[in-house]
Amino acid sequence: MAGGDSKAMQPRQNQGNRPNVSAALNREWPVLFRSYVICSIAHAFWHGLGWRAALALCAVAFFACGMASAQDKRILNPQPLPPLAKPDDPHTPARELFGRKTTPTALPTRSIGSYSKGCLAGAVALPINGETWQVMRLSRNRNWGHPSLVEFLERLSEHAARSGWPGLLLGDMSQPRGGPMFNGHTSHQIGLDADIWLTPMPDHELTREEREEMMENVVVAKDRKDVDPKVWTPAHVALIKAAAEDERVNRLFVNTAIKKALCRDAGHDLAWLHKVQPWLGHDWHFHVRLNCPPDSPECEPQPPREVGDGCNDEEMHRWSTEALPAGPSKPRLGPKMSELPAACRQVLNAP
């Protein structure tokens, strides 16, 4: 895979003969309605499995809207969202406001607030093409970040290319003004988070359609207990290690099975593993989070992770089962503007 194996680059296929329901429904629909429709079709199609199986599928649909949807296939030319009737209504979720901003501000660059309740002034865009990277899911317009994040990704891609990884496929960073998103993430709000695919970059420049339709390679085995040896390579270890060793990185989020593989394959050099945090999902990408940059005094830092490799601690056991919620989870509308730092109102309203 690290060498651009053509078989490994093929889009992930559906299991068995089940229809690709989520791809057919994946549009700009509200999360709740989309989950409801998936559940209805699942119940109708899998009714022979009994009500418990249908209920489990519903739970997956609701749960996935907050995680797996982060890199879902999108439409090539999404239409602009209609203006809000009452944008100043204090009950309007902040995501409805920030999700409608398509350009950054001309304010001085700074990350404001916390990773999950904040915004971004003076964002810069990562170019969609570089010699050693390509941006995916362009329709989402989420290739924005603090300049330190853009520089980090460019440098990491160059390092990875020198180490044998063909180039980075980059997923969501932040919106043009940061802030809460309609779907996919709770964090990624202050321009310091980025998703990096564990699929190496192809040897050609992807078309817009390919960037929307190409599916990722899941590196975790079907039983969820370890990585898939047919997909996982030493190059994956080297890439994640290179990211973790950058002093600007606060932590990385990966699937527990991936952390397990990293602990096993890292050899005697385990010091960097303390930055790698096991988390639910994250089986086809890893999530990078940078520390607050010096130019952003309003950025709320996240405490560094405890010293130690974390390969055998309680955290690994807590996420190892990846248990689904007991039932359908309530859709989250995210924070209101009143819950964000006051400076985010200036960012939102700036020309």
**pLDDT digits 0-9 by tens, 62-71:** 333 444 445 5
Mean pLDDT of 128-146: 97
* Residue 78: band (very low, low, confident or very high) from pLDDT cuts 50, 70, 90: confident
Residue 285, classed as helix, strand or coil, is: strand
**pLDDT digits 0-9 by tens, 218-247:** 999 999 999 999 999 999 999 999 999 999
**pLDDT digits 0-9 by tens, 15-61:** 333 333 333 333 333 433 444 333 343 343 333 444 444 444 344 33
Query: Cα torsion for 151, 169, 276, 333, to the nearest 10°?
Result: 90
**pLDDT digits 0-9 by tens, 172-187:** 999 999 999 998 899 9
* Residue 315: band (very low, low, confident or very high) from pLDDT cuts 50, 70, 90: confident
**Above 80 in pLDDT, residue 321?**
no
Mean pLDDT of 141-168: 97
Residue 95 or residue 23, greater confidence: 95
**Above 80 in pLDDT, residue 72?**
no
Q: How far apart are CA 91 and CA 87, in angstroms?
A: 9
Give every strand in the sheet of 249-254, ordered side by side: 129-130, 133-135, 168-170, 193-197, 285-290, 249-254, 276-278
Give me the pLDDT at residue 340, please. 97
Decide: 144 and 175 in contact? Cβ < 8 Å: yes
Q: How far apart are CA 331 and CA 31, in angstroms?
A: 7
Q: How far apart are CA 89 and CA 21, in angstroms?
A: 36
Q: How far apart are CA 5 and CA 234, in angstroms?
A: 14
> What are the beta bridge partners of residue 195?
287
Q: How far is CA 315 from CA 76, 269, 274, in A?
A: 40, 21, 12
Residue 220, classed as helix, strand or coil, is: strand
pTM of the model: 0.78
296: left (phi over 0), alpha (psi -120 to 50) or beta: beta
Give me the pLDDT at residue 74, please. 58
Locate tokens 């994956």: which residue?
236
Instruction: Characterize 282-308 residue by residue with b for buried, 16 or more Cβ atoms within 10 angstroms of its Cβ, and e for exposed.
Output: bbbbbbbbbbbbeebebbbebeebeee
